[in-house]
Amino acid sequence: MVSEGCCASLRDRAYTSLGALLLHPRHFHVGPRTTKLLRAELESWQQQGAAVDARFREQEQVLELMRHEICGVLKFMCGGVAAYVHKQGRSIWGPMRPTVPQAVQDRQLLMKGLHEQTLDDVLLQLKSATLHGPGAEMEQGKHAANEEDNLDDLFA
């Protein structure tokens, strides 16, 4: 008797094999008609997988983000972008940015800091620029105004 886990493993292996055949048809001596048949079968499996498991859609989104990844800059599903460097086996992340060019600039600064051994200072500067950049004064002003209103209420 075959277990459910074994069947799932066989399905995964078959799906992977179909993908390999489609990626390298000449290597496996696959003709155009067989390629068309394999493509239809693979699309059918993908549709079934998407209907059954919501993780499939998330996986596709992550793969799409990874296809456009720039070395040291990662785009997240939330829409933000962050730069990173590796130091002694650890990932050191810069702040979350709204655009890729900003994260690329952060990556350059992080790399420079890594090579000059001033990475901690660079991270503090990036954090400070994020907290005190354009628009930060307005946010701080809102909080200060709210605090003043609250203090007035206490002493009224």
Asked if residue 88 and residue 46 are part of one domain, the reply reads no
| DSSP string for 88-133 | TTEEEE---BSSHHHHHHHHHHHHHHHHHT-HHHHHHHHHHHHHSS
Whether 107 maps to a domain, the answer reads yes
The per-residue pLDDT string of the chain (156 residues; one tens digit each, 9 = 90 and over) reads 445 555 566 777 777 887 787 788 778 877 888 888 888 887 887 777 666 667 777 777 777 777 777 889 988 878 889 999 999 989 999 999 999 899 999 999 999 999 999 999 999 999 888 776 544 433 344 444 444 444 444 444
For the chain, what is the total number of helices (H) and then of strands (E)? 6, 3
Q: How many domains does the chain have?
A: 2
Residues 150 and 83 in one domain: yes
Residue 144: domain span? 69-156
Identify whether residues 96 and 130 lie together within a single domain.
yes
What pLDDT, on a 0 to 100 scale, did the predictor assign at position 148? 45
